[in-house]
Structure 1
Amino acid sequence: MEDVRSAADGTAAEVVIPVNGAALAAHLAIPPKATGVVVFVHGSGSSRHSPRNQYVATLLRDAGLGTLLFDLLNEAEENDRGNVFDIGLLAGRLGQVLAWLRARPEARGLPVGLFGASTGAAAALWAASNADADVAAVVSRGGRPDLAGGHLAAVRAPTLLIVGGLDHAVLDLNRHAAAQLTCEHVIEIVPGATHLFQEPGTLQQAAVLARDWLAHHVR
Protein backbone atom coordinates (compact mmCIF):
# COMPACT_ATOMS: atom_id res chain seq x y z
CA MET A 1 0.00 0.00 0.00
CA GLU A 2 1.14 3.53 -0.67
CA ASP A 3 2.44 6.06 1.81
CA VAL A 4 -0.23 8.37 3.18
CA ARG A 5 2.23 11.19 3.81
CA SER A 6 5.96 11.46 3.28
CA ALA A 7 8.40 14.14 4.32
CA ALA A 8 10.10 16.06 1.55
CA ASP A 9 13.48 14.46 2.27
CA GLY A 10 12.03 10.94 2.35
CA THR A 11 13.11 10.27 5.94
CA ALA A 12 9.66 10.22 7.57
CA ALA A 13 6.38 8.71 6.43
CA GLU A 14 2.94 7.69 7.60
CA VAL A 15 2.54 4.24 6.07
CA VAL A 16 0.20 1.28 6.02
CA ILE A 17 1.81 -2.16 6.32
CA PRO A 18 -0.07 -5.06 4.68
CA VAL A 19 0.15 -8.34 6.63
CA ASN A 20 -1.97 -11.39 5.77
CA GLY A 21 -4.89 -9.30 4.59
CA ALA A 22 -4.73 -6.87 7.52
CA ALA A 23 -3.62 -3.25 7.21
CA LEU A 24 -1.45 -1.92 10.04
CA ALA A 25 -1.04 1.82 10.46
CA ALA A 26 2.54 2.88 11.14
CA HIS A 27 4.97 5.79 11.36
CA LEU A 28 8.42 5.29 9.88
CA ALA A 29 11.11 7.90 10.56
CA ILE A 30 14.72 7.41 9.50
CA PRO A 31 17.08 10.36 10.05
CA PRO A 32 19.88 11.06 7.60
CA LYS A 33 22.90 8.80 8.12
CA ALA A 34 20.96 6.54 10.49
CA THR A 35 23.04 3.72 11.96
CA GLY A 36 20.05 1.41 12.41
CA VAL A 37 16.30 1.18 12.90
CA VAL A 38 14.33 0.34 16.06
CA VAL A 39 10.91 -1.27 15.74
CA PHE A 40 8.48 -0.59 18.59
CA VAL A 41 6.32 -3.52 19.61
CA HIS A 42 3.45 -2.19 21.70
CA GLY A 43 1.64 -4.12 24.38
CA SER A 44 -2.06 -4.31 25.12
CA GLY A 45 -3.94 -1.04 25.29
CA SER A 46 -1.19 0.90 23.54
CA SER A 47 -0.59 2.16 20.01
CA ARG A 48 1.85 4.03 17.83
CA HIS A 49 0.45 7.22 19.40
CA SER A 50 1.50 6.27 22.95
CA PRO A 51 3.19 9.34 24.53
CA ARG A 52 5.62 7.06 26.37
CA ASN A 53 6.76 5.34 23.19
CA GLN A 54 6.82 8.60 21.26
CA TYR A 55 9.14 10.02 23.91
CA VAL A 56 11.54 7.07 23.65
CA ALA A 57 11.40 7.24 19.85
CA THR A 58 12.45 10.90 19.92
CA LEU A 59 15.50 10.06 22.04
CA LEU A 60 16.45 7.26 19.66
CA ARG A 61 16.20 9.49 16.60
CA ASP A 62 18.32 12.11 18.35
CA ALA A 63 20.91 9.34 18.81
CA GLY A 64 20.93 8.62 15.08
CA LEU A 65 18.54 5.67 14.95
CA GLY A 66 15.47 5.34 12.78
CA THR A 67 12.17 4.29 14.34
CA LEU A 68 9.12 2.34 13.23
CA LEU A 69 6.04 2.64 15.44
CA PHE A 70 3.08 0.56 14.32
CA ASP A 71 -0.08 -1.04 15.65
CA LEU A 72 0.33 -4.81 16.00
CA LEU A 73 -3.43 -5.27 15.77
CA ASN A 74 -6.04 -3.25 13.93
CA GLU A 75 -9.07 -1.90 15.78
CA ALA A 76 -11.30 -4.86 15.01
CA GLU A 77 -8.66 -7.37 16.11
CA GLU A 78 -8.04 -5.54 19.38
CA ASN A 79 -11.68 -6.03 20.35
CA ASP A 80 -10.90 -9.75 20.74
CA ARG A 81 -8.80 -9.84 23.93
CA GLY A 82 -7.54 -13.27 22.96
CA ASN A 83 -5.51 -11.67 20.18
CA VAL A 84 -3.76 -9.36 22.65
CA PHE A 85 -2.28 -12.33 24.52
CA ASP A 86 -1.70 -14.58 21.50
CA ILE A 87 2.08 -14.17 21.51
CA GLY A 88 2.55 -16.56 18.60
CA LEU A 89 0.20 -14.45 16.47
CA LEU A 90 1.93 -11.21 17.49
CA ALA A 91 5.42 -12.60 16.91
CA GLY A 92 4.46 -13.94 13.49
CA ARG A 93 3.00 -10.59 12.53
CA LEU A 94 6.13 -8.83 13.77
CA GLY A 95 8.21 -11.10 11.55
CA GLN A 96 6.19 -9.94 8.53
CA VAL A 97 6.65 -6.32 9.54
CA LEU A 98 10.42 -6.84 9.78
CA ALA A 99 10.45 -8.31 6.28
CA TRP A 100 8.46 -5.33 5.01
CA LEU A 101 10.85 -2.90 6.72
CA ARG A 102 13.98 -4.49 5.28
CA ALA A 103 12.52 -4.16 1.79
CA ARG A 104 12.08 -0.39 2.19
CA PRO A 105 14.79 1.51 0.26
CA GLU A 106 15.48 3.89 3.15
CA ALA A 107 16.00 1.01 5.60
CA ARG A 108 17.74 -1.51 3.37
CA GLY A 109 20.98 -2.77 4.92
CA LEU A 110 20.43 -1.12 8.29
CA PRO A 111 20.61 -3.29 11.44
CA VAL A 112 17.31 -3.62 13.31
CA GLY A 113 16.58 -3.49 17.04
CA LEU A 114 13.32 -4.19 18.87
CA PHE A 115 11.77 -2.19 21.71
CA GLY A 116 8.90 -4.04 23.38
CA ALA A 117 6.52 -3.22 26.22
CA SER A 118 4.08 -5.47 28.10
CA THR A 119 3.05 -8.39 25.87
CA GLY A 120 4.91 -6.74 23.01
CA ALA A 121 8.19 -7.60 24.74
CA ALA A 122 7.30 -11.30 24.57
CA ALA A 123 6.46 -10.98 20.88
CA ALA A 124 9.78 -9.20 20.28
CA LEU A 125 11.79 -11.94 21.97
CA TRP A 126 9.83 -14.71 20.26
CA ALA A 127 10.46 -13.08 16.87
CA ALA A 128 14.13 -12.52 17.71
CA SER A 129 14.52 -16.22 18.49
CA ASN A 130 13.94 -17.17 14.86
CA ALA A 131 17.18 -18.16 13.16
CA ASP A 132 16.59 -15.82 10.21
CA ALA A 133 15.36 -12.85 12.28
CA ASP A 134 18.75 -11.07 12.25
CA VAL A 135 17.81 -8.80 15.18
CA ALA A 136 20.70 -6.73 16.54
CA ALA A 137 19.29 -6.04 20.04
CA VAL A 138 16.12 -6.19 22.13
CA VAL A 139 14.87 -3.90 24.90
CA SER A 140 11.90 -4.76 27.12
CA ARG A 141 10.35 -1.98 29.22
CA GLY A 142 7.90 -3.17 31.84
CA GLY A 143 7.52 -6.23 29.65
CA ARG A 144 6.39 -9.81 30.03
CA PRO A 145 9.34 -11.69 28.51
CA ASP A 146 8.20 -14.80 30.40
CA LEU A 147 5.34 -15.14 27.89
CA ALA A 148 7.91 -16.00 25.19
CA GLY A 149 8.32 -19.31 27.03
CA GLY A 150 10.63 -21.85 25.44
CA HIS A 151 11.72 -19.40 22.74
CA LEU A 152 13.84 -17.44 25.23
CA ALA A 153 16.76 -19.86 25.09
CA ALA A 154 17.07 -19.37 21.31
CA VAL A 155 17.40 -15.56 21.46
CA ARG A 156 20.87 -14.44 20.34
CA ALA A 157 20.36 -10.67 20.33
CA PRO A 158 21.73 -8.76 23.35
CA THR A 159 18.70 -8.13 25.56
CA LEU A 160 17.99 -5.43 28.13
CA LEU A 161 15.09 -5.92 30.56
CA ILE A 162 13.97 -2.65 32.21
CA VAL A 163 11.60 -3.04 35.15
CA GLY A 164 10.20 -0.65 37.74
CA GLY A 165 11.47 -1.25 41.25
CA LEU A 166 7.91 -1.16 42.60
CA ASP A 167 6.53 -3.46 39.90
CA HIS A 168 7.21 -6.49 42.10
CA ALA A 169 5.26 -9.19 40.28
CA VAL A 170 6.64 -8.24 36.86
CA LEU A 171 10.16 -7.97 38.29
CA ASP A 172 9.92 -11.58 39.49
CA LEU A 173 8.69 -12.67 36.06
CA ASN A 174 11.57 -10.84 34.37
CA ARG A 175 14.09 -12.54 36.64
CA HIS A 176 12.57 -15.90 35.79
CA ALA A 177 12.77 -15.10 32.07
CA ALA A 178 16.35 -13.81 32.36
CA ALA A 179 17.39 -17.15 33.86
CA GLN A 180 16.32 -18.80 30.60
CA LEU A 181 18.21 -16.43 28.31
CA THR A 182 21.54 -17.65 26.98
CA CYS A 183 22.41 -14.43 25.12
CA GLU A 184 24.04 -11.33 26.60
CA HIS A 185 21.40 -9.84 28.89
CA VAL A 186 20.97 -7.35 31.73
CA ILE A 187 18.12 -6.47 34.08
CA GLU A 188 17.97 -2.76 34.91
CA ILE A 189 15.69 -1.77 37.80
CA VAL A 190 14.38 1.80 37.89
CA PRO A 191 13.92 2.72 41.58
CA GLY A 192 10.52 4.03 42.59
CA ALA A 193 8.84 3.11 39.31
CA THR A 194 5.63 1.14 38.94
CA HIS A 195 4.51 -0.72 35.83
CA LEU A 196 3.83 2.27 33.56
CA PHE A 197 6.78 4.41 34.78
CA GLN A 198 4.41 7.26 35.63
CA GLU A 199 6.38 8.48 38.64
CA PRO A 200 8.42 11.69 38.11
CA GLY A 201 11.68 11.05 36.31
CA THR A 202 11.24 7.29 35.97
CA LEU A 203 10.23 7.23 32.31
CA GLN A 204 13.23 9.39 31.50
CA GLN A 205 15.53 6.95 33.29
CA ALA A 206 14.03 4.02 31.40
CA ALA A 207 14.27 5.86 28.08
CA VAL A 208 17.94 6.70 28.58
CA LEU A 209 18.72 3.09 29.47
CA ALA A 210 16.95 1.93 26.31
CA ARG A 211 18.64 4.54 24.14
CA ASP A 212 22.12 3.69 25.38
CA TRP A 213 21.61 -0.06 24.90
CA LEU A 214 20.19 0.28 21.41
CA ALA A 215 22.66 2.95 20.28
CA HIS A 216 25.49 0.65 21.36
CA HIS A 217 24.20 -2.56 19.76
CA VAL A 218 22.17 -1.43 16.73
CA ARG A 219 24.90 -0.22 14.41
Structure 2
Amino acid sequence: MTTASRTVRIDAGDAPLVGDLVLPADARAVVAFAHGSGSSRHSPRNRAVAEALREARLGTLLLDLLTQQEERVDMVTAELRFDIALLGRRMTATVDWLGTEPDTAGLPVGLFGASTGAAAALVAAAERPDGVRAVVSRGGRPDLAGDEVLPAVRAPVLLVVGGEDHQVLRLNEEAAERLSAPYRIHVVPGATHLFEEPGALEEVAAAAREWFGQMAVPGGTGGQ
Protein backbone atom coordinates (compact mmCIF):
# COMPACT_ATOMS: atom_id res chain seq x y z
CA MET A 1 0.00 0.00 0.00
CA THR A 2 1.40 3.37 -1.04
CA THR A 3 1.76 5.86 1.80
CA ALA A 4 3.05 9.40 2.13
CA SER A 5 4.96 10.33 5.29
CA ARG A 6 6.23 13.72 6.39
CA THR A 7 7.09 15.76 9.46
CA VAL A 8 4.64 18.59 10.04
CA ARG A 9 4.62 21.69 12.24
CA ILE A 10 1.37 22.97 13.67
CA ASP A 11 0.92 26.47 15.03
CA ALA A 12 -0.93 25.95 18.30
CA GLY A 13 -0.93 29.64 19.14
CA ASP A 14 1.37 29.49 22.14
CA ALA A 15 3.83 26.96 20.71
CA PRO A 16 4.78 25.14 17.50
CA LEU A 17 3.94 21.43 17.62
CA VAL A 18 5.93 18.81 15.72
CA GLY A 19 4.23 15.71 14.37
CA ASP A 20 4.61 12.76 12.01
CA LEU A 21 1.80 12.57 9.43
CA VAL A 22 1.40 9.32 7.51
CA LEU A 23 -1.36 9.01 4.92
CA PRO A 24 -2.21 5.97 2.82
CA ALA A 25 -2.90 6.98 -0.77
CA ASP A 26 -6.56 6.01 -0.36
CA ALA A 27 -7.00 7.17 3.24
CA ARG A 28 -10.62 7.04 4.44
CA ALA A 29 -10.00 9.15 7.56
CA VAL A 30 -7.19 10.47 9.75
CA VAL A 31 -6.51 9.85 13.44
CA ALA A 32 -4.49 12.24 15.62
CA PHE A 33 -2.74 10.79 18.68
CA ALA A 34 -2.64 12.66 21.99
CA HIS A 35 0.14 11.36 24.22
CA GLY A 36 0.32 11.89 27.94
CA SER A 37 2.20 11.20 31.16
CA GLY A 38 5.65 11.97 29.86
CA SER A 39 5.26 10.15 26.54
CA SER A 40 5.88 11.54 23.05
CA ARG A 41 5.13 10.87 19.41
CA HIS A 42 7.87 8.22 19.53
CA SER A 43 5.85 6.06 21.94
CA PRO A 44 6.30 2.47 20.68
CA ARG A 45 2.82 1.51 21.90
CA ASN A 46 1.06 4.30 20.03
CA ARG A 47 3.21 3.72 16.97
CA ALA A 48 2.13 0.07 16.96
CA VAL A 49 -1.53 1.12 17.12
CA ALA A 50 -0.94 3.70 14.37
CA GLU A 51 0.54 1.06 12.10
CA ALA A 52 -2.52 -1.13 12.59
CA LEU A 53 -4.79 1.79 11.74
CA ARG A 54 -2.92 2.49 8.52
CA GLU A 55 -3.46 -1.10 7.46
CA ALA A 56 -7.17 -0.23 7.53
CA ARG A 57 -6.57 2.84 5.28
CA LEU A 58 -6.65 5.30 8.16
CA GLY A 59 -4.09 8.09 8.15
CA THR A 60 -2.27 8.88 11.39
CA LEU A 61 -0.79 11.97 12.99
CA LEU A 62 1.48 11.36 15.95
CA LEU A 63 2.56 14.62 17.53
CA ASP A 64 4.16 16.05 20.62
CA LEU A 65 1.79 18.24 22.63
CA LEU A 66 4.76 19.70 24.53
CA THR A 67 7.79 21.45 23.05
CA GLN A 68 11.26 20.05 23.76
CA GLN A 69 11.87 22.73 26.36
CA GLU A 70 8.54 21.99 28.04
CA GLU A 71 9.32 18.28 28.03
CA ARG A 72 12.58 18.96 29.88
CA VAL A 73 10.67 20.94 32.51
CA ASP A 74 8.00 18.27 32.74
CA MET A 75 10.59 15.54 33.28
CA VAL A 76 11.47 17.33 36.54
CA THR A 77 8.11 18.67 37.67
CA ALA A 78 5.60 16.28 35.99
CA GLU A 79 3.21 19.23 35.99
CA LEU A 80 2.60 19.97 32.31
CA ARG A 81 1.44 16.46 31.53
CA PHE A 82 -1.49 17.12 33.88
CA ASP A 83 -2.26 20.58 32.47
CA ILE A 84 -5.36 19.40 30.65
CA ALA A 85 -6.42 22.91 29.64
CA LEU A 86 -3.07 23.42 27.88
CA LEU A 87 -3.05 19.99 26.24
CA GLY A 88 -6.69 20.34 25.23
CA ARG A 89 -6.09 23.72 23.55
CA ARG A 90 -3.22 22.23 21.56
CA MET A 91 -5.27 19.20 20.57
CA THR A 92 -8.04 21.53 19.43
CA ALA A 93 -5.52 23.46 17.33
CA THR A 94 -4.49 20.15 15.78
CA VAL A 95 -8.08 19.36 14.81
CA ASP A 96 -8.33 22.80 13.20
CA TRP A 97 -5.07 22.21 11.33
CA LEU A 98 -6.28 18.88 9.97
CA GLY A 99 -9.41 20.59 8.70
CA THR A 100 -7.45 23.13 6.67
CA GLU A 101 -4.35 21.18 5.60
CA PRO A 102 -4.80 20.25 1.90
CA ASP A 103 -3.77 16.61 2.44
CA THR A 104 -6.33 16.02 5.21
CA ALA A 105 -9.11 18.57 4.69
CA GLY A 106 -12.35 16.74 4.05
CA LEU A 107 -11.27 13.54 5.79
CA PRO A 108 -13.17 12.45 8.92
CA VAL A 109 -11.03 13.08 12.02
CA GLY A 110 -10.65 10.75 14.98
CA LEU A 111 -8.65 11.26 18.17
CA PHE A 112 -6.69 8.59 20.05
CA GLY A 113 -5.64 9.54 23.57
CA ALA A 114 -3.41 7.66 26.00
CA SER A 115 -3.22 8.42 29.74
CA THR A 116 -3.74 12.18 30.27
CA GLY A 117 -3.84 12.58 26.50
CA ALA A 118 -7.29 10.99 26.59
CA ALA A 119 -8.58 13.97 28.56
CA ALA A 120 -6.99 16.34 26.03
CA ALA A 121 -8.68 14.44 23.19
CA LEU A 122 -12.06 14.73 24.90
CA VAL A 123 -11.55 18.48 25.43
CA ALA A 124 -10.87 18.88 21.70
CA ALA A 125 -13.90 16.73 20.83
CA ALA A 126 -16.10 18.92 23.02
CA GLU A 127 -14.63 22.11 21.53
CA ARG A 128 -15.00 20.89 17.93
CA PRO A 129 -18.18 18.75 17.82
CA ASP A 130 -18.40 19.11 14.04
CA GLY A 131 -14.73 18.36 13.52
CA VAL A 132 -14.20 15.16 15.54
CA ARG A 133 -16.03 12.01 14.53
CA ALA A 134 -14.75 9.48 17.08
CA VAL A 135 -12.51 9.20 20.15
CA VAL A 136 -10.55 6.24 21.53
CA SER A 137 -8.86 6.22 24.94
CA ARG A 138 -6.12 3.70 25.78
CA GLY A 139 -5.56 3.34 29.50
CA GLY A 140 -6.70 6.93 29.67
CA ARG A 141 -7.84 9.38 32.30
CA PRO A 142 -11.08 10.70 30.79
CA ASP A 143 -12.11 11.85 34.27
CA LEU A 144 -9.50 14.61 34.06
CA ALA A 145 -11.45 16.24 31.23
CA GLY A 146 -13.88 17.51 33.85
CA ASP A 147 -17.60 17.54 34.57
CA GLU A 148 -18.31 20.33 32.09
CA VAL A 149 -16.42 18.75 29.19
CA LEU A 150 -17.66 15.16 29.33
CA PRO A 151 -21.37 15.90 28.73
CA ALA A 152 -20.41 18.24 25.87
CA VAL A 153 -18.66 15.52 23.83
CA ARG A 154 -20.75 14.48 20.82
CA ALA A 155 -18.37 12.01 19.15
CA PRO A 156 -18.72 8.32 20.06
CA VAL A 157 -16.12 7.31 22.66
CA LEU A 158 -14.35 3.97 23.10
CA LEU A 159 -12.63 3.51 26.46
CA VAL A 160 -10.06 0.70 26.37
CA VAL A 161 -8.79 -0.34 29.81
CA GLY A 162 -6.75 -3.26 31.12
CA GLY A 163 -8.71 -5.68 33.27
CA GLU A 164 -5.97 -5.57 35.91
CA ASP A 165 -5.73 -1.76 35.86
CA HIS A 166 -8.35 -1.55 38.59
CA GLN A 167 -8.13 2.09 39.62
CA VAL A 168 -8.10 3.40 36.04
CA LEU A 169 -10.99 1.08 35.16
CA ARG A 170 -13.04 2.54 37.99
CA LEU A 171 -12.20 6.09 36.89
CA ASN A 172 -13.22 5.24 33.32
CA GLU A 173 -16.52 3.80 34.46
CA GLU A 174 -17.27 6.92 36.49
CA ALA A 175 -16.32 9.22 33.61
CA ALA A 176 -18.43 7.22 31.16
CA GLU A 177 -21.52 7.85 33.27
CA ARG A 178 -21.09 11.57 32.63
CA LEU A 179 -20.85 11.19 28.86
CA SER A 180 -23.92 12.02 26.81
CA ALA A 181 -22.36 10.65 23.60
CA PRO A 182 -22.50 6.96 22.66
CA TYR A 183 -19.69 5.06 24.34
CA ARG A 184 -18.32 1.61 25.03
CA ILE A 185 -15.89 0.37 27.66
CA HIS A 186 -13.63 -2.34 26.25
CA VAL A 187 -11.83 -4.26 28.98
CA VAL A 188 -8.76 -6.24 27.89
CA PRO A 189 -8.68 -9.27 30.21
CA GLY A 190 -5.47 -9.72 32.18
CA ALA A 191 -3.91 -6.49 30.91
CA THR A 192 -2.23 -3.92 33.15
CA HIS A 193 -1.90 -0.18 32.54
CA LEU A 194 0.70 -0.31 29.74
CA PHE A 195 -0.83 -3.34 27.97
CA GLU A 196 2.54 -5.10 28.03
CA GLU A 197 1.05 -8.59 28.29
CA PRO A 198 1.18 -10.86 25.19
CA GLY A 199 -1.61 -9.96 22.79
CA ALA A 200 -2.93 -7.06 24.87
CA LEU A 201 -1.73 -4.23 22.63
CA GLU A 202 -2.90 -6.12 19.57
CA GLU A 203 -6.39 -6.21 21.09
CA VAL A 204 -6.22 -2.46 21.71
CA ALA A 205 -5.24 -1.87 18.08
CA ALA A 206 -8.00 -4.11 16.74
CA ALA A 207 -10.65 -2.37 18.86
CA ALA A 208 -9.42 1.07 17.79
CA ARG A 209 -9.30 0.07 14.15
CA GLU A 210 -12.91 -1.11 14.27
CA TRP A 211 -14.10 2.01 16.12
CA PHE A 212 -12.36 4.46 13.81
CA GLY A 213 -13.28 2.39 10.76
CA GLN A 214 -16.95 3.01 11.46
CA MET A 215 -16.48 6.79 11.46
CA ALA A 216 -15.22 6.53 7.88
CA VAL A 217 -18.49 4.93 6.77
CA PRO A 218 -21.25 7.38 5.79
CA GLY A 219 -23.75 7.38 8.62
CA GLY A 220 -21.45 5.33 10.84
CA THR A 221 -21.29 6.38 14.46
CA GLY A 222 -19.03 3.86 16.15
CA GLY A 223 -21.44 3.75 19.08
CA GLN A 224 -23.48 0.89 20.38
Alignment TM-score, normalising by the size of structure 2: 0.90
Other-structure match for 2:24: 31
1:68-91 deviation per Cα after TM superposition (whole angstroms, max 9, x unaligned): 000000121121322110101110
1:18-37 deviation per Cα after TM superposition (whole angstroms, max 9, x unaligned): 22242222100111121110
Of the three residues 76, 96, 99, the one matched with 1:99 is: 96
Other-structure match for 1:212: 210
Question: 4+ residue stretches of structure 1 with deviation over 6 A?
Answer: none
Gaps of 5+ in 2: 218-224
Other-structure match for 2:222: none
1:76-114 deviation per Cα after TM superposition (whole angstroms, max 9, x unaligned): 112132211010111011111111122111101111000
Of the three residues 194, 198, 201, the one matched with 1:203 is: 201
Q: Distance in 1 between matches of 2:6 and 2:122?
A: 26
Aligned pairs for 1:48-197 (under 5 A) are 48-78=41-71, 79-80=73-74, 81-150=78-147, 151-197=149-195
Aligned letter for 1:163?
A: V
Residues 121 and 144 of structure 1 are in contact (CA less than 8 Å); yes or no, is this contact kept in structure 2?
yes
Gaps of 5+ in 1: 1-8
Paired residues in the alignment total 211
Residue identity (%): 55
Change (3 A) 1:34 1:72: same
Residues 138 and 159 of structure 1 are in contact (CA less than 8 Å); yes or no, is this contact kept in structure 2?
yes
Other-structure match for 1:5: none
Over aligned residue pairs, what C-alpha RMSD do you find? Answer: 1.4
Aligned pairs for 1:35-50 (under 5 A) are 35-50=28-43
